[in-house]
Amino acid sequence: MSARLDAWMDGYVAAWRSNDAAHISALFTEDAVYDPQTGHEPWRGRDAVVAGWIDVGDDPDTWRFTWAPLVEVGDLAIITGETHYEEEPPRTYRNLWVIEFGEDDRCRSFTEWYVRVRRAPG
């Protein structure tokens, strides 16, 4: 894992926790595209990314997130993650993110997929 990816992911998690517009904005280029692949249209441009993120933001103390890099080549990184939501009912999601970096190590293209983990009863 590169220092760039590690720093960007630290910033992403901090922005996720804070839902602060300045934290979110610092992650993305002016022309960034954020594609949540979850029934929302892609957010195009930094201002739209910030607004979309805040609109669907999670409460900061309701989740835990772990991640690991899968691929990192040039300006492209692919990570896998797992998000545990602790509010009722508790649930877990597996995540796959494709991150393309632009200038100043900000993200210019972000695509995420997630799937809910179904646990067998008992």
pTM value is 0.91
- Reported as a single tens digit per residue, the pLDDT across 11-69 is 999 999 999 999 999 999 999 999 988 777 899 999 999 999 998 878 878 899 999 99
Rounded to 5 degrees, φ, ψ at 83 are -115, 125
Rounded to 5 degrees, φ, ψ at 108 are -105, -20
Round the average pLDDT of the chain to a whole number and report it.
Answer: 92
The domains of the chain are located at 3-116
Which class does domain 3-116 fall in? Answer: alpha beta
Rounded to 5 degrees, φ, ψ at 81 are -145, 170
